Every structure is written in structure tokens, then in C-alpha cells.
Amino acid sequence: MAATTECGADVNTSENNMSVKKALSAASPLALRVVAECPVTKARACDLILPHCAVSTPVFMPVGTQGTMKGITVDQLEGLGCQICLGNTYHLGMRPGPDLIEKANGLHGFMNWKRNLLTDSGGFQMVSLVELSEVMEEGVLFKSPYDGEEILLSPEKSISIQNSLGSDIMMQLDDVVSSTVSGPRVEEAMHRSIRWLDRCIAANKNPDKQNLFAIIQGGLNAELRQACLDEMTQRDVSGFAIGGLSGGEEKNDFWRMVTLSTDHLPREKPRYLMGVGYAVDLVVCVALGCDMFDCVFPTRTARFGSALVPWGSLQVKQKQYAKDFQPIDPDCPCPTCKRHSRAFLHALFKSDTAAMHYITIHNIAYQLTLMRSVRRSIVDGCFPEFIRTFMKRMFPSRDQYPGWAVDALASVDVTLD
């Protein structure tokens, strides 16, 4: 196993140092230590020990699809305290290809990233590239968006690519259908995902170095999702992801599937809710028991001039900020807010792509800072009060609270003022 060090924030006490060393003496490349649990909600703060460093959860993981984060450098990401980020198996497998990356000592060496990496399996591309793919029992037949060549991504191939990439956490290849789809296709995909999980487990040639996570499927059907939970939790995997959500379904359906999943996932394994990145969603789903999150939202929205702030978003391209010399958020400690005004960013957006870069740095810093604050409130035993304060600042009046969020929080005994 690679040498493990601490990285980022909140893993610096002597007690944590001892726990990290003890955890790493085990054979598994992953250990989870529950640091604190909210006595009201299902929220928890954990230390997730991975081969490259310890990760403090709850955690938001920025997405670097092709081995790089759009609009931010590796050094800047490290400077923000990011402990783990994502790469995409499908896109990296297409180009530059696993052979080249393996020669560079894996994706860590290729992108010069010394902290943890999680690689998606390529399953999501069944939805995002649906017009270019065909699902069969053997795997997914893709037509390359680059040259039109047909490529079969099987569970074995997905794991082989991820073994070459050397990621700390690998995701199983699952049969992904849109969350708005219902009927027999959802059940077919759920059962196939279980079969593909077994093939992924068998294909992993680095079980002592790389962790494999299962992905719970079942769409918005509680019985199917429960059946998937019952089967997958019998497998010896390092962690579990909640998949097949955050794809356009009604939020009331979304949160009910999340809480159903966390109710039946093992306490001693990390719980990863895939594709979730809006601030309200993050806070609510931590309350529902999730540990890990990812989404392209903070980097993608930055490229349109939208800066994330505790009261929602700030559109720096709007004329009202042309003479506003405040930072994006006066309370934000990120490099962008320390050095640049709204007026500067407004002017820069008209002439230079560097504006997108500055807002990307801010948006990732916002996400990471939010999750650190969430963790701190769990450890301090005041997470329900944190939620109330967060919601009051995010929404001008209680009438504007999303109904689904109110209901979801009420299900874990948090009532909003």
C-alpha cells in the first residue's frame, strides 16, 4: 500500500494521528473511523483512511473528468485543502488511454496529484451518451464520440482501466438508466448491476491497493432499491454509493430514496451519494446519513459567471456589479475573495477567460468550506442548529424553503423555524 499522510483540514489532532496509524496497520486499503454522530439526525463525521491520505467527511469531491479540473490547477486545488477528487474511466480510457497513464505511474503521477483519487466506472455515460451506446449483458457498446469507433466497456474492462489508473477508490460498472425512467427497464438494470458487481470484484487485480465501491440502483422504486441493498450489502466491498438519482426526478422522490438507502447501508462503510452538489442538497443529505458527494456543478456554473455564496449565487456578469468593489463574499477566505473585487471580475469577464478561473477557485473553496463547517457542527453537537442558520441565510423567508427539504429534514427530527 502507498504511504499514507494527512492532508487538508481537520485531521491534525494527536488522537487522530494515532487512529490513522492504527487503521493503516490493517491489510485493507481503506478504514473508516466514525468520529461523531449527530444525536438528532443521521449525520456523522468520519475519518476515511485511504492510501494517499486521510479524508475528513462529510466531503465534497470536485470532478476532474479527464485528469484535470477545468479552470483550476492541481496546486491550487491542493492549496484549497481538497483531499480527494474524481476522474472518469470512460473518458480517460478513450484518451489519452490507460497504457500511457500507467507508464506515468498511474493517474496520480500523470496529473501530479499527491492526494486521493476516485474514478467513476463509465456507467453514467450510458445516460449522458445514450445515443452512442447499447447495453447488453456483456457490457456497454459505445461509439466513440471522437472517431466513431465501437468500443465494448465490460465490467472487466472498466476495472482493468481503473487498475491502470491506480485510483484509491474505483466504482463498479453499473447499468445506469435515467432517474425519470420507470417500468421493466429499471428492474433489469438493478439485477444486471448486481451481476456486474460480482464480475468487478473478480476482476480487481489490486484489492490490497485499490478500493471497490458498489453502486445501489433501483430507480425510484422502493422495493427494487431495497432488493438491491439486500444483495449488494452481502458483498465484500469497501464502500457503497447511492446511484441512479439526481437526474431530473422530483425532489420528494429523490430524498426518500436517499434515506431508504442510508437506513440499510452498514455503519462501518462509507456512503457516497453520486452526482449531488447544490448546497441545500448537500446539507440535507448529510442529515440523511451520506458521507461523500460529487458534482460538476461548482466548476460548470463558474464558467457562466455564477459565484456560489451563502445566500445562493452571485452573477458577476450583471451590470449591478460593475462598480462594486466588495469581494464575491466578504467572509470567504479563498484567494479570489482576498485579492479581487466584484467589479474587477465583472470587467474581466468581458475580455479574459481568467475570470472563469477566479470564480472556479472561489466555487470549489465554497463547497469545501461548507462541508468543513458541516463536519465541525456535527463534532460540536450542534448540527440541527447549523441547518437552521444555513437555511435562514440561504432563503430570505421561510415561505421560500423548498418543501422537499422541509419534509426531508422533518423525517430526521429537524424542524425549521
CA dihedral (69, 75, 77, 82) positive or negative: positive
SS3 state of residue 85: strand
Q: What is the 3-state secondary structure (H, E, C) of 207-265?
A: CCCCEEEEEECCCCCHHHHHHHHHHHCCCCCCEEEECCCCCCCCHHHHHHHHHHHHHHC
Chain centroid to Cα 167, Å, comes to 15
- CB under 8 Å to 353, separation ≥6 — which residues? none
Query: What are the grid coordinates assigned to 272, written together?
Result: 457516497
Could you count the other beta carbons within 10 Å of the beta carbon of residue 38? Answer: 24
Per residue in 162-200, is it b (16+ CB within 10 Å) or e — as a string? bbbbbbbbbbbbbbbbbbeeeeeebbebbbbbbebbebb
Kindly name the residue from 10, 47, 120, 281 that is annotated as catalytic: 120
Active site annotation includes 294: yes
Half-sphere exposure of 58 (CA within 13 A, CB side): 37
Q: Of 10, 281, 291, 294, which residue is the catalytic one? A: 294
Q: Is 380 a catalytic residue?
A: no
Which backbone phi and psi does 238 adopt, to 5 degrees?
-80, -25
Residue 32 neighbours by CB distance under 10 Å:
23
Residues catalogued as catalytic = 120, 294
